[in-house]
Amino acid sequence: MSGLILEGKTGKWEVICGVEIHCQIISKSKIFSGASTHYGSDPNQNVAFIDAGMPGMLPSLNEECVHQAVKTGLGLNAKINKYSEFSRKNYFYADLPQGYQITQFRYPIVGEGTVTISLPDGSTKDIGIERMHIEQDAGKSIHDMAPDKSFIDLNRAGVGLMEIVTKPDFRAPEEVGAFLRKLRSILRYLETCDGNMDEGSMRCDVNVSVRKLGEEGFRTRCEMKNVNSVKFVMQAIENEARRHVEVYESGGEIVQETRKFDALSGQTKPMRKKEFAHDYRYFPEPDLLPLVLDDEYINRIKSEMVELPDAKMARYVKDLGLTPYDASVICENKEVAAFYEKAAKGHDAKKVANWLMGDFFAMLNEKKLELKDSPISAENLGRLVELVTTNVINGKTAKDVFALMAETGDNPEKIVEEKGLKQVTDTGAIEAVIDEVIAANPDNVAAYRAGKTALMGWFVGQVMKASKGKANPGMVNQLLSKKLV
């Protein structure tokens, strides 16, 4: 897919974008304390002394968070750095009681990697990962509990985060959308982050700039922090890019700053001047040793890796004959892929994919059901497809059987048996119906024989109707052509 090109008064503009994503690590306890990471506890219930910034408390690195970060790095096809170290990032804010965040700065645990995204036109694009480091989350300020007060909840303070930084490789909002969905999918396969943007366990900052088509180098970028849905991220990029074009074309300059995206207006507003690294007075964290990993540790994690979406997609295309796009849709969600594999087992895999992505998803949507609550089991979906493939029922009847399966949860054979829906493949029986239709419509028969062959479809329709939809359409066609000559 080509990128988003904005038509300005002075010519064509290209959109340049990179993202930084904070992902909460799935772990039972926080990254430097033993407090629970449970989401939804009452405020300030999961707070160890160090999370509250009590003097004299020392951090102790949670090995599970390191394990999760290495696993994630491997999932991003990235280099795992055997040496990394922690730094203090100093800033003052009410939800950061220590007065600094323990993070990684010069030496992150994960280096460069690649994530491949699939686009709706069937093409793919590689997005470069610049780095990934681990750090602690801050607490949460609550401003809407009282009109004249703010409250602080420290349950989140000290929860482990992985911050993933991409290269400025995006050229369209859709590419960023596809990347966020792909990243979320990888994290969920790995079970290292639950990827829920609306609960804040995956938070996206976007950097946007524009340049004249064909121009080299990058212009000044603006950053939008914590945009909390894929849809809003895409909207924010497009609107911010248009703003840049307008500013440049009216003779202005873009200043590097952090802006806030307002979901109601769809516009971005200035929040604060962009900070630079030196504003944070980074220095090595004196209370933690450098983190040193060996090959054995990394290889052990490698050996625990599950099949990731890309490998699964490639297998579906190669072994099951799916199109790359269909495979990417099914593989995005681990549970959907597992359901599909169960349904397709021993049946026509391509037909099962069509049913799954068509009628089946539409049924779940309409009933507002999650996959796990589906009235149609994977096995029954596969058996329905089998009934069509083996000509027990025709395609049209299958739609009716599917509707009954969704209603009752029964298996398709039982429904076909009880409702007498078996396809009529008895030549004699079909011929009898055809003879009736021919006898009842002498005018159309004459017209057909005089050359109006388009009437064939009408005859097929009449015969199917007379057989209550149960005749085999292929046989009807064949026998009709013979009889109408």
Give the residues lining the site for Mn ion (CB under 5 A).
163
**Smallest gap from residue 137 Cβ to Mn ion (A):** 9
Beta strands 222-227 and 257-261: pairing type?
parallel
Cβ nearer to Mn ion, comparing 153 with 163: 163
- What are the structure tokens assigned to 33, written together? 């304390």
Distance CA 349, CA 326 (A): 12
Which residues touch 155 (CB under 8 Å, ≥6 apart)? Answer: 38, 41, 43, 44, 45, 46, 47, 139, 140
* Short-list 474, 468, 475, 473, CA closest to 420: 468
Q: Radius of gyration (Cα) for the chain, nearest Å?
A: 30
- What are the structure tokens assigned to 100, written together? 């600094």
**Smallest gap from residue 405 Cβ to Mn ion (A):** 49
Cβ nearer to Mn ion, comparing 101 with 239: 101
Cβ nearer to Mn ion, comparing 205 with 310: 205
**Smallest gap from residue 35 Cβ to Mn ion (A):** 20
* Short-list 71, 155, 75, 65, CA closest to 103: 65
Distance CA 41, CA 37 (A): 9
**Smallest gap from residue 163 Cβ to Mn ion (A):** 4
**Smallest gap from residue 205 Cβ to Mn ion (A):** 9
- What are the structure tokens assigned to 27, written together? 């772990």
Distance CA 72, CA 68 (A): 6
Asked whether the beta carbons of 307 and 316 are under 8 A apart, the reply is no
Cβ nearer to Mn ion, comparing 26 with 245: 26
Closest-approach residue to Mn ion (CB): 163
Which residue bears the tokens 């990934």?
132
Cβ nearer to Mn ion, comparing 133 with 470: 133
Alpha-carbon distances of 235 from 174, 241, 264, rounded to whole Å: 10, 10, 11
Cβ nearer to Mn ion, comparing 284 with 474: 284
Long-range CB contacts for residues 313-321, cutoff 8 Å, separation at least 24: 313/118, 316/349, 320/344, 320/349, 320/350, 320/353, 321/349, 321/350
Angle 421-423-428 from CA coordinates, rounded to 5°: 125
Distance CA 139, CA 348 (A): 52
**Smallest gap from residue 237 Cβ to Mn ion (A):** 20
Which residue bears the tokens 């699964």?
312
Cβ nearer to Mn ion, comparing 89 with 312: 89
Cβ nearer to Mn ion, comparing 49 with 91: 91
Cβ nearer to Mn ion, comparing 203 with 312: 203
* Short-list 36, 134, 52, CA closest to 89: 134
- What are the structure tokens assigned to 285, written together? 């964290």
**Smallest gap from residue 19 Cβ to Mn ion (A):** 13
Cβ nearer to Mn ion, comparing 104 with 118: 104
Cβ nearer to Mn ion, comparing 163 with 359: 163
Which residue bears the tokens 């990471």?
37
**What DSSP character marks residue 168?**
S
Distance CA 328, CA 313 (A): 6
**Smallest gap from residue 103 Cβ to Mn ion (A):** 6
Distance CA 84, CA 108 (A): 5
Question: 334-344 and 173-190 are packed helices; what angle lies between their axes, rounded to 10 degrees?
Answer: 70
**Smallest gap from residue 254 Cβ to Mn ion (A):** 24
**Smallest gap from residue 91 Cβ to Mn ion (A):** 11
**Smallest gap from residue 135 Cβ to Mn ion (A):** 5
**Smallest gap from residue 136 Cβ to Mn ion (A):** 9
Cβ nearer to Mn ion, comparing 72 with 374: 72
Which residue bears the tokens 């017209």?
447
